[in-house]
Structure 1
């Protein structure tokens, strides 16, 4: 846009030097061809239009950069919160809330494998939370099942026409998915679950949203694995203590 505004401005200078300036020096205003003033006015108009569009584009870019900076700072704070949360249920709630906030979504969910190997909706926020919570997801079922099977993130801004769309889930909950973003939770090269958000409040999900959710998912996977490790240690300690007490009796 900036270059587009410079070209008419250069033409304006060219016509002025070639046609207008010599006539001004000679004092013969009647010697100006009729098309020259028209071209000058057109050049000025196009230059102003190009500059206006350039300014608007720059302002929009600055606004986007500021929003990204705010989200990145939020991601840092969220990561610190994850690492200081020792309880899996509280951590899971915080993960979903953070994902919804960072992606400007209407709702979201966290899917995790339980100790029996079943993939479940661990935490659900937004519409359909009651119906989806603790629901078992079959292998490859829906968008999240596909993401977990493939270990790749997914953006679908027209879910109804996507071959991975599973109407059963949305019929059960009454959710009308207009857009979906899912990122896998990967720890030590193993997929342990997924984060899903749906219905972005302002337009479609973008590659930037995908990168932010992916970064959040990486930190979430580490924190979830740490929580589970601590839970296992606590359980082992309790079992050992019980065995020792029984042995003493």
Structure 2
């Protein structure tokens, strides 16, 4: 008998009416699976969908009753031409299989993953105006065996479910588009005050000229760039220049420090997660790859990426694909990746801490950013650049560094590179107050100590000039050591406060202030 019973017709009507109220795919699929299981009097029901490639089938929803089994099913991929589900997808015809052990088409991988015991299956295609999107199947009738009426009922139900899934997907696409637009507006707004970053790469040294030449080549190419250099050497500034001067400049630039996250948090940050993926995941969240689609992602300290995350990064680099944490849906992005590291990645590969295949992917176009100690001639223009930016930002009078200040900065080794220089100048500008000149007396002890240790090297001219120069530098150093306290400085020098004030006036020294 193939006719649907009156009770099934009533239930079918109720289900069809209820489906229109479910527009979230994450709510729709579990509701459909549970309701269909009840209507078929089956032990279980699955909605199985085709992925974006059309080559594999996956489970968009798994019951949370057994988390371990659910995790296996979420990760399970089945060839779209295998199994009962594959046969229905390929033929577009429903199937009733009373004994799967006698059917060569049965694909036992799901049972092996879950420990299940599938005996019988009734399966119908999910068809939309764009074609077949998957199947819905019930398995193991609780009482008796599946009949032709069950198949007819499932086919009728599949029509309503297909429309509901299509509507839910369209709704999700609309939500993602809106979220993407909001993210892009926010990211672009955040970057817009300084759209062109090329001007922020300061330097005329030969070492930097080489960087400029490589950056110019990278700008017009989609090649993957690896920036190598010490911490604080300016790798992110170079990455921004490549993005904001290139064809993707109107799309987002997103920077992620791979060493600042735990393994699980880094994957959530990069790829996003699905609602319910872990405790606290109360809603879907897009990762930075989705937020930066069409733009550039800067992966800082990529050498600190955990091994499992390296595998997923490799997939994005090779195929432009990723899966959110806790999800089964494969997503595609078009994102340029610029990486940076302060490590020797080849050494990390030999040590087994970094994948060799990923290394060759990220290092297609390496650019070495030199440390500041290798380009000391760039310190004066860097100082002028930072002083101009800081005084404008803080509403202070324009300020220039004295020759002594520049010489002091030239003698310091700058282990923290350009970033340390910037922070040193921020501190000095703060201490200088409303002064329009920046002298060495405003610098930190470590910078002044380097100057004092090298003082004899720069002494030249008459004995009086050398003596005055040494006295000035020494007073400035002690004054700085005493946090600008004139009385304490005079006591340390063994002279009176009045005498110290006179010498400070003669040498043009100012009190840097307390810190």
- TM-score tier by shorter-chain length is 0.5 to 0.7
What whole-Å deviation, never above 9, does each CA across 1:29-57 have from its counterpart, x for those lacking one? xxxxxxxxxxxxxxxxxxxxxxxxxxxxx
Structure 2 counterpart of 1:55: none
Distance 2:160 2:87 in 1: 21
Higher RCO, 1 vs 2 (CA within 8 Å, ≥6 residues apart): 1
SS at match of 1:122: coil
Segments of 5+ residues of structure 1 without an aligned counterpart are: 1-60
- Tell me how far 1:245 sits from its aligned partner: 4.1
Query: Which of 136, 147, 167 in structure 1 is aligned with 2:77?
Result: 136
* Structure 1 residue aligned with 2:58: 120
Which residues of structure 2 form unaligned runs of 5+?
A: 193-515
Check whether the contact 2:57–2:78 (CA below 8 A) recurs between aligned residues. Answer: yes
Coordinate RMSD, CA, aligned:
2.6
- Asked if the contact 2:50–2:80 (Cα under 8 Å) also holds between the matched residues in 1, the reply is no
Q: What residue number does 1:75 align with?
A: 12
Counterpart position of 1:154:
95
What is the aligned counterpart of 2:149 among 190, 199, 208? 208
1:183 to 124, 128, 132: 124
Equivalent position SS for 2:46: strand
The structure-2 alpha-carbon separation of the partners of 1:185 and 1:71, relative to structure 1 and needing over 3 Å to count, comes to same
Contact 2:37 2:44 in 1 (8 A): yes
Q: 2 CA distance for matches of 1:244 and 1:123?
A: 33
Between the aligned partners of 2:36 and 2:75, the Cα distance in structure 1 is 19
| Helix, strand or coil at the partner of 2:164 | helix
Name the SS of the counterpart of 1:152 in structure 2. Answer: coil
Give the Cα separation in 2 of the matches to 1:133 and 1:142: 18
> Of 16, 19, 22, which aligns to 1:85?
22
Paired residues of 1:132 and 1:173 also in contact (CA < 8 A): yes
1:103 to 24, 31, 40: 40
2:59 and 2:136 map into 1 onto residues whose CA distance is 10
* Alignment-derived partner of residue 10 in structure 1: none
Secondary structure at 1:178 match in 2: coil
Structure whose alpha-carbon radius of gyration is higher: 2
Pairwise CA distance, 1:89:
0.9
Q: 1:180 to 1:235 in 2, by over 3 A?
A: same
Question: Using the alignment, how far apart are the partners of 1:246 and 1:69 within structure 2?
Answer: 57
Aligned pairs (5 A) from 1:16-31: none
Counting helix residues as a fraction of each chain, which structure ranks higher?
A: 1
- Give the CA deviation at 1:76: 0.9
Change (3 A) 1:152 1:102: same
Cα distance, 1:225–1:160 mapped onto 2, change above 3 Å: same
1:116 deviates by 5.6
How far off is 1:145 after superposition? 1.3
Is the 8 Å Cα contact of residues 96 and 124 (structure 1) preserved in structure 2? no
Aligned mates of 2:78, 2:161 — CA distance in 1: 20
Equivalent residue number for residue 171 of structure 2: 230
On the 8 A contact 2:29/2:61 being kept in 1, the answer is: yes
Aligned residues: 186
CA drift at 1:96: 0.6
Cα distance change of structure 1 residues 108 and 238 upon mapping to structure 2, 3 Å threshold: same
Cα shift at 1:175? 2.0
| TM-score (normalised: structure 1) | 0.67
Cα distance in 2 between the residues matched to 1:124 and 1:235: 23
Instruction: Please list every run of at least 4 consecutive aligned residues from structure 1 whose deviation after the TM superposition is greater than 6 angstroms.
Output: none
Tell me how far 1:132 sits from its aligned partner.
2.5
Tell me by how many angstroms 1:247 deviates.
4.9
Distance 2:136 2:17 in 1: 19
Distance in structure 1 (CA, Å) of the matches to 2:187 and 2:120: 56
Task: Say which of 166, 182, 185 aligns to 1:241.
Answer: 182
Per-residue deviation, 1:115: 4.2
> Given the two structures, how large is their TM-score scaled by the length of structure 2?
0.34
| Shift, 1:167, TM fit | 3.0
